[in-house]
Amino acid sequence: MVSWRLGRSRTPWMSEDPLAWINQVSAHAKVTALTGDQDNTTPSALAKTYISRLHERNIKATFVPVPEAGHIDHLKSQLVMDAISELIH
């Protein structure tokens, strides 16, 4: 949890630590984490750690870097729609 907080550029009380919720993720879940490769608020290393921890629990999880995107503008990427489509099909 500490590394998640330290890795963020904002105050700690403005975010949840996804690592604290690892044991709540269903073993049948499919997780896709997308992070803009220019995100200065939530660096991709944090999402990669989350995905790695899910893999340790044998949960199907994927990390997708969004090229030339920051913290919010990655949501405009076609990669987001592609990930959603893949998860619901």
Encode pLDDT of 45-82 as tens digits: 999 999 999 999 999 999 999 999 988 888 888 999 99
Query: For the chain, what are the domain ranges?
Result: 2-88
DSSP class of residue 6 equals H
53, 25 contact by CB (below 8 A): no
Question: What share of the chain has pLDDT > 90, as a percent?
Answer: 62
Which of 3.40.50.1820, 2.40.30.10, 3.40.50.720, 3.30.1310.10 is the CATH number of 2-88?
3.40.50.1820
pTM over 0.75: yes
Catalogue the long-range contacts made by 16-22 (C-beta closer than 8 Å, 24 or more residues apart). Answer: 18/50, 19/49, 19/50, 19/53, 22/50, 22/53, 22/54, 22/57
- In which band, very low, low, confident or very high, does the pLDDT at 1 lie, cut at 50, 70 and 90? very low
